[in-house]
Amino acid sequence: MFTRGSDGDGKAASERVDYGGVRNVLAALQGRLARVALMTTIGVTNRTSAYNRATEAHDWKRRAERLVRVSGLPYTIVRPGWFDHNRPDQHRLAMLQGDLRDLARLISRPTEKGATS
C-alpha cells in the first residue's frame, strides 16, 4: 500500500516521491504478484489548478496512477478528500466515485477536546 506522498514542496519532490516511489517499488517487485493499493489525492485530474501549476504534484500523482494501471497487477486507487472542510454538524461519511469534491458531503474531524470542527 502506497500512502506516502510529497508535501507539495516543489516539482522535483513531486516527481521523486509521488511518481518515483511508485515506479521504484513496482520495479522492485520484479514480476511477483502483489495487490497494489495507491492513495493519491482528490483533484488529481485538475491539471489547471494554481496548486498543480506551481508544484506539478497532481501531474506526478496521475502518472503514478497510470504506472499502477499498466503494471498488470491487481490494484485499488483511492483519492481521499478532506475531513475538515465542512460544517460542524456533518458527521456522516460519503463515498463518492470519481474525482468529485462536494464539501457539503464530507465528515468533520474531531478536535483535541473531542468536539468537531
Closest by Cα among 53, 117, 35, 42 to 84: 117
How confident is the model over 42-46, as a mean pLDDT? 85
Read off the C-alpha cell for 32: 511477483
Confidence (pLDDT) at 106: 47
CA geometry: angle 1, 57, 36, nearest 5 deg: 15
d(CA 60, CA 8): 11
The answer to whether 44 and 65 have CB atoms below 8 angstroms apart is yes
Q: What distance lies between CA 55 and its chain's CA centroid? A: 15
Domain ranges of the chain: 1-80, 83-117
98 vs 9: which has the higher pLDDT: 9
